[in-house]
Amino acid sequence: MLDMEMLDQLFRMPFFTGLFLTVSITLMGALLRLREEWLAGLGLPHVAAAGGVAGLPLGLPSIMSATLATGLATLVKTLVARNDNGHFALMLVLGWGGALFLAANTYQGEMISEGLLRGQLYFSSPQHFYGALVLLVLMLATMPWLCRQLLIARFFPDHHSANRRRVWPHDLTFAVLLVATVVLGTVAMGALPAFAVFFVPAWVAFRLARGWKQGLILTVGLGVVAYLVAFFAALWLDQPFGPLLALLLALTALLRLRGNRT
C-alpha cells in the first residue's frame, strides 16, 4: 500500500507541479504533432537549458534566462521559417552544445546544467508550482479556440487568407504557450523527460484514436498514467524520476502495435 508519508509536504508540491505540467505538455505535444513540429519538444528544451546556464554569470534566475533564450529562438524561427522540424534539430544541436560548453566554463554551471538536462522535479519550488498551475489554466481555457484555428490552418491552409482573417492571434497564442510550456517543463522536469512527455503520448495516441478529441483524451491519459506510475515508483524504489518516466513512456509505444491492426 502507498505510504501516506510520501505525500507529505516534502513531496506534495513536486507531485502537483509535475501533474499540472504533464497535462499541459501532453496537450502541447498534440498541437506540435498537428503542426508537424514535434521536434520542437526536444530542440527548444535544450535551448532553454542553455539559456538557464547562460544566465548564471549575469546573476539572472535560471527560469528568466531560459525564458529569454527560448522566446528568442521561437521568434527567430517564426520569422524566418515555415513549419519545419529541421530548424528544431539545429536548436537541439546548439542548445545541447551550448549548455555543456557554458557549464564547463561557468561557476556551478555543471550542477545547473545537469538539473536542467536530466530533471529536478523533487526540488520544485512554489514558483514552479504556481507557474505550472497558471499555465494549465491558460492551456485549458484556450484549447477549444486554439485547436479549431490550428486544425483549420492544417487542413485548409488558405482558409484564413481567403476569408481575410488574421492569423497572428492564434500564432502568437500558440508561441507564448509553447515557450511557457517548454521553460517550465525544462526547469522542473528536465529537457529529456519533458521531451518524452511532449512526444510519446501524442505519437501513440494519434495511432490509436479515431478522431481529434479522442486523440487529445488519449494523449493526456497516457501521459498522466505514466507520470503517476513513475512518480510513486521512483519514490518506492529510490530511483531517478526522469529516466524512469522516459522508460515507462517508451513502453507505451507498444500500444501502437494495436493501432496497426485496426
Question: What residues does each domain of the chain span?
Answer: 24-260
Residues 86, 132, 113: CA angle, nearest 5 degrees: 55
**Rounded to an integer, what distance in angstroms lies between the CA atom of residue 22 and that of residue 227?**
7
**Rounded to an integer, what distance in angstroms lies between the CA atom of residue 153 and that of residue 157?**
5
Q: Contact 255/133 with Cβ under 8 angstroms? A: no
Q: For residue 172, what are the CA distances in angstroms to 21, 71, 73, 183? A: 21, 11, 14, 17
Take residue 98 and report the three cell numbers written for it: 551550448
Burial class (CB in 10 A: 0-12, 13-18, 19+), 40: buried
With a cut of 70, which residues of the chain have pLDDT below it?
1-10, 81-84, 107-119, 157-165, 168, 259-262
pLDDT number for residue 8: 61
pLDDT number for residue 51: 86
Q: Contact 175/78 with Cβ under 8 angstroms? A: yes
Radius of gyration (Cα) for the chain, nearest Å? Answer: 18
pLDDT number for residue 1: 43
**Rounded to an integer, what distance in angstroms lies between the CA atom of residue 225 and that of residue 22?**
10
157: DSSP letter: T
Residues 93, 99, 105: CA angle, nearest 5 degrees: 130
HSE-CB for 100 with a 13 A CA cutoff:
7
Measured N-to-C along each axis, helices 212-237 and 126-155 cross at an angle, to the nearest 10 degrees, of 150
Burial class (CB in 10 A: 0-12, 13-18, 19+), 224: middle
- Average pLDDT, whole number, for the chain? 84
**Rounded to an integer, what distance in angstroms lies between the CA atom of residue 35 and that of residue 43?**
15
**Amino acid residing at 114:** E
Q: Contact 173/2 with Cβ under 8 angstroms? A: no
pLDDT number for residue 168: 66
pTM for this structure? 0.86
5: DSSP letter: G
